[in-house]
Amino acid sequence: MAFTPPKETYTGKVYTLEIGVPPDTVRFGGENVLPLHGFEGIVPSRPVIAYEIQDIPPDDWPDTVKKPFKDVSDDPVSWAKFCRDALKARAIALRLIGTHPDRENRSPEDAAKTVRDILSAIDVPLIILGSNHTEKDASVLIAAAEAAKDKNCIIGKAQEANYKTVAAAAMANNHKLIAMSELDINLSKQLNILITQMGFDKERIITDPMCSALGYGIEYTYSVMERIRLAALLQNDATMQQPMLGDIGMYVWKAKETQARPEDVPPWGSLEERGIAWEAVTAIALIIAGAELLVMRHPKAIEAVEKVVDELI
Amino acid sequence: MALTGVEIFKLLPKTNCKKCGFPTCLAFAMKLAQRQASLDLCPDVSEEAKQKLGEASAPPVRPITFGVGNKAIKMGEETVLFRHDKKFVNPCAFALEIKDSLSDDEIITRVEEILNSEIERVGQKLRVDAIALINDSNDAARLEAAAKLIVAKAHEMPLIICASSPQAAEASLRLYADKKPIICGANSENAELMADIAKTYNAILGITATASGGLDEISNITEKVKALGVTDMVIDPGARKAKEILEQNTLIRRAAIKKNFKPLGYPIITFAQREDGLKEALIAAIGIAKYSSIIVLSSIEKWKNLALFTLRQNIYTDPQVPMQVEQKIYKLGEPTSESPLLITTNFSLTYFIVSGEIENSKVPGYLAVMDCEGLSVLTAWAAGKFTASKIAQFIKESGVENEIKHRELIIPGYVAILSGAIEDKLEGWKITVGPREANGIPAFLKSRAA
């Protein structure tokens, strides 16, 4: 029986986003097909993986992922330089976790200084993330967005509780914006609409449907991503056509599987390889579901994912 | 294409006799279309209708059981392309490659490795499911000798024999005649011979395309083999690179589900072997997410198994049934009789997040997880499953009073409203309102401990 490949016809397209200042820019999104379905349409860019760094030393990261950065992680500028120069990071995600009231409660001015220091030391597409304390983030991200004015960064995350302030800060300083909602396609759509109603360009938003790690609810993120992408492409829903973020590192490196010593759980095998695999497998699954921008930590996990992406493009 | 409810309705007796248990024939037809009812429920359906509906209601991916006994693997039966539409039915199997060119000792070591691969995770036992014996030596006698070693060591383990020479395949297949093995390597040149052998030894036939033939060639071979009387097949579309695996698997599943294209309505076998163990894990991950029924691996390190088993478990969970964890008092860290006691519901995501945050706090504690049918805290409260009297009853019956000296229960901030009522029902207890969001737990517990 003759076989005709059942190609899908898509009516929508994911917006293309570019961040950074020429010549140091990266681009993602832009496809008019389901993730990496190059056989039936256009996949113009590969997913971008950003190395996660933070404004304070990574005391709460497990050893496996602390180790590769042990000589540089005391200082965000050397950490960023190391990622850019030695690890060839295409982008860097700076998490201002030290501003969290339960951590060091650093001030918005401190955060702005860290951002300025990094941007004056190296040219790299930068993603600036708050500490996920919606109230504090509002003030921190205003200061950080100003400090990075016109550097075409991504600011995040705007959530239901603080999107007005965070989106205004991104808009005033010419940045892109991450809109995060909690594992619900309708909430995600609603937040995009609210933000665009403020006059924020819908093509400058990145959707974060909320990440979850392998073994800890990844199937929820996976399916919300697939549903968002189907709505964008098959129903041509313009409020769902933003590229998606997988903020993987912070969820993966909290999981027990990335921390438990082999002597405590013999059937789980080597700790270092297990942690790296946990992050890489989480990343690949979400890339298959539709993530175009990923924030990750371990160099070996990133390297392996990049190699497989080479094969997928 | 599967029939719609209305098309099915036309074939039913239209008597609305209700014997099927549904109020009308139309209602029954709708249930049939959604595959939520079986035609057997209708006592009056005509033979003609039965035949038509039977064909249309046959699953688009043929159900096949690989192996026999306790370790038999069910494959196929899939009905959707995306897991949010409906549960993926039969989780893919992992097979470890064993080349017959290895020494006897090496073969035995690998078989033992498979037998010891079982891990328990969230109440499920997970393991490497099968062996793929590869005729790397190109020697029929060696293949047979290797198969002998394997059957002696693990006679229950389902076996895939990969050999392109029918003669080589036959000798080893004889050892597995009553064990429903897979014989992988039927192509356009040897299809008749292979089909013959598969029939003789009651084996599942693996169909492979040549480099340029692709799915068109596969479809021709499966049709030919089916005409020769072999009904159980698996498809190896020849894809090895990640991009090809994604493309071929998607096209095969789509043709089967959306077009009801029978020549490709069979389970897919994916050969994911790579030199780099981590890269192999990632190729396998693509197979798990995108429609492989069997994934062949070259190595099964424990860390890799754990990651792949977990992804398979996650992708194959039922999206309509919330994942639940067992109702009990969980110990986090090494709690003492003075350690704090928190309570939450048994939605697995809630449990994972809350227990993770308690661990992050480094304050050992007890987490009472109450069965609320897998609902999250607010939903369970709204649905009347997380109420003061049920909480009080659960705490009393849990036996936690024997483990702790204090009588303080920390409840989620979202149900602060319950604190008075629980105190009334749980005599001698003090109820403390904890944070609304789990990410507030570390600060909350640390400040109490300080």
Q: What is the mean pLDDT of chain B?
A: 92
Tokens (6 digits) for A270 = 């080597």
The CATH number of residue B88's host domain is: 3.20.20.20
Residues B275 and B304 grouped into a single domain: yes
Residues B78 and B191 grouped into a single domain: yes
| Domain end residue (candidates: B291, B315, B339) | B315
Residues B139 and B177 grouped into a single domain: yes
Return d(Cα B328, Cα B306) in angstroms, integer. Answer: 25
Residues B122 and B24 grouped into a single domain: no
Residues B310 and B262 grouped into a single domain: yes
Tell which wins on pLDDT, A197 or B47: A197
CB A310 within 8 A of CB B282: no
For Cα atoms A224, A230, A231, give the angle at the middle one, nearest 5 degrees.
90
From the CB of residue B448, how many other CB atoms can be counted at a distance below 10 Å? Answer: 14
Transcribe B378-413 into DSSP letters: HHHHHTTSS-HHHHHHHHHHHTGGGT-SS-EEEE-G
Instruction: Identify whether A300 is part of a domain.
Output: yes
Transcribe B129-182 into DSSP letters: -EEEEE-TT--HHHHHHHHHHHHHH-TTS-EEEE-S-HHHHHHHHGGGTTS--E
- Partners of A176 in the β-ladder: A154
pLDDT of residue B8: 86
Residue B279 confidence (pLDDT) above 50 = yes
Instruction: Identify whether A3 is part of a domain.
Output: no
Tokens (6 digits) for A271 = 């700790």
* Structural domains counted in chain B: 3
Residues B280 and B366 grouped into a single domain: no
> Which of B247, B317, B356 faces A219 most closely, judged by CB atoms?
B317
pLDDT band at B40 (very low <50, low <70, confident <90, very high): confident
The answer for A 181-200 residues in CB contact with B (under 8 A) is: none
Residues B24 and B97 grouped into a single domain: no
Residue B374 confidence (pLDDT) above 90 = no
Tell which wins on pLDDT, A73 or B209: A73
CB B323 within 8 A of CB B360: no
The CATH number of residue A168's host domain is: 3.20.20.20
**What is the separation, in whole angstroms, between the first and last Cα of chain B?**
66
Return d(Cα B158, Cα B114) in angstroms, integer. Answer: 11
Residues B199 and B228 grouped into a single domain: yes
CB contact (8 A) between residue A254 and residue B360: yes
Cβ pairs bridging A and B (under 8 Å):
159
Transcribe chain A into DSSP letters: ------PPP----PPEEEEEETTEEEEEE--SSSTT-GGGS---SPPEEEEEEESS--TTS-HHHHGGGTTTTTSHHHHHHIIIIIS--SEEEEE-GGGSTTTT---HHHHHHHHHHHHHH----EEEE--S-HHHHHHHHHHHHHHTTTS--EEEEE-TTTHHHHHHHHHHTT-EEEEE-SS-HHHHHHHHHHHHHTT--GGGEEEE-----TTTTHHHHHHHHHHHHHHHHHS--GGG-S-EEEE-HHHHTTSGGGT--TTTSGGG--HHHHHHHHHHHHHHHHHHHTEEEEEE--HHHHHHHHHHHHHH-
Instruction: Identify whether A6 is part of a domain.
Output: no
Per-residue pLDDT of B355-367, as tens digits, reads 888 988 889 999 9
Position A254: which residue type? K
Residue B229 confidence (pLDDT) above 90 = yes
Instruction: Identify whether B412 is part of a domain.
Output: yes
Residues of A in contact with B83 (CB under 8 A): 219, 222-223, 226
Quick one: how far is CA B89 from the chain centroid?
Answer: 7
What burial letters (b/e) apply to A255-276, b meaning 16+ CB within 10 Å?
A: bbbbbeeeeebeebbebbbbbb
Q: Is the peptide bond before A23 cis (omega within 30 degrees of 0)?
A: yes
Tokens (6 digits) for B315 = 């992708």
* Structural domains counted in chain A: 1
- Tell me if residue B333 falls in helix, strand or coil: coil
pLDDT of residue B48: 83
Per-residue pLDDT of B282-332, as tens digits, reads 999 999 999 999 999 999 999 999 999 999 999 999 988 777 888 999 999
Return d(Cα B291, Cα B340) in angstroms, integer. Answer: 45
pLDDT in tens, chain A (313 residues): 679 999 999 999 999 999 999 999 999 999 999 999 999 999 999 999 999 999 999 999 999 999 999 999 999 999 999 999 999 999 999 999 999 998 999 999 999 999 999 999 999 999 999 999 999 999 999 999 999 999 999 999 999 999 999 999 999 999 999 999 988 999 999 999 999 999 999 999 999 999 999 998 899 999 999 999 999 999 999 999 999 999 999 999 988 899 989 998 899 999 999 999 999 999 999 999 999 999 999 999 999 999 999 999 9
Per-residue pLDDT of A274-287, as tens digits, reads 999 999 999 999 99
Main-chain dihedrals φ then ψ at residue A18, nearest 5 degrees: -125, 135
- Domain range for A294 is 16-308
What burial letters (b/e) apply to B159-186, b meaning 16+ CB within 10 Å?
A: bbbbbbbbebbbbbbebbeebbbbbbbb
Instruction: Identify whether B320 is part of a domain.
Output: no
Quick one: how far is CA B306 from the chain centroid?
Answer: 14
Residue B54 confidence (pLDDT) above 80 = no
Instruction: Identify whether A252 is part of a domain.
Output: yes
Return d(Cα B202, Cα B196) in angstroms, integer. Answer: 10
User: A311 at the B interface (CB within 8 A)?
Assistant: yes
> Which of B223, B305, B314 faces A218 most closely, judged by CB atoms?
B314
Return d(Cα B163, Cα A135) in angstroms, integer. Answer: 64
**A211: distance to nearest CA of chain B, Å?**
12
Instruction: Identify whether B146 is part of a domain.
Output: yes
User: B49 at the A interface (CB within 8 A)?
Assistant: no
Instruction: Identify whether B323 is part of a domain.
Output: no
| Domain end residue (candidates: B290, B315, B340) | B315
The CATH number of residue B358's host domain is: 3.40.50.11600
Residues B92 and B174 grouped into a single domain: yes
User: A36 at the B interface (CB within 8 A)?
Assistant: yes
Instruction: Identify whether B332 is part of a domain.
Output: yes
Instruction: Identify whether B322 is part of a domain.
Output: no
> Which of B121, B242, B263 faces A312 most closely, judged by CB atoms?
B242
Instruction: Identify whether A242 is part of a domain.
Output: yes
Tokens (6 digits) for A309 = 């992406």
pLDDT band at B1 (very low <50, low <70, confident <90, very high): very low
Residue B439 CB contacts under 8 Å (≥ 6 apart), including other chains: A132, B357
Residues B307 and B336 grouped into a single domain: no
Instruction: Identify whether A66 is part of a domain.
Output: yes
Return d(Cα B216, Cα B194) in angstroms, integer. Answer: 19
Instruction: Identify whether A5 is part of a domain.
Output: no
Main-chain dihedrals φ then ψ at residue A44, nearest 5 degrees: -75, -25
Instruction: Identify whether A8 is part of a domain.
Output: no
The answer for A 47-106 residues in CB contact with B (under 8 A) is: 60, 102
CB contact (8 A) between residue B242 and residue A311: yes
Residues B114 and B251 grouped into a single domain: yes
In the 8-state DSSP scheme, what is residue B97?
E
CB contact (8 A) between residue B279 and residue A304: yes
Helix (H) or strand (E) holding B368: strand B365-370
Mean pLDDT of B255-273: 95
Residue A200 CB contacts under 8 Å (≥ 6 apart), including other chains: A167, A170, A171, A177
**B385: distance to nearest CA of chain A, Å?**
22
Quick one: how far is CA B160 from the chain centroid?
Answer: 20
Residues B289 and B355 grouped into a single domain: no
pLDDT of residue A247: 98
Instruction: Identify whether B45 is part of a domain.
Output: yes
Per-residue pLDDT of B384-431, as tens digits, reads 999 999 999 999 999 999 999 999 999 999 999 999 999 999 999 999
- Domain range for B41 is 5-57
pLDDT of residue B209: 86
Best of A1, A4, A310 to substitute, by most chain B Cβ atoms within 10 angstroms, is: A1
Instruction: Identify whether B181 is part of a domain.
Output: yes
The CATH number of residue B15's host domain is: 1.10.15.40
Which of these, B262, B444, B449, lies nearest to B339 by C-alpha position?
Answer: B449
Residue A272 CB contacts under 8 Å (≥ 6 apart), including other chains: A64
Return d(Cα A312, Cα B174) in angstroms, integer. Answer: 40
Residues of B in contact with A300 (CB under 8 A): 278
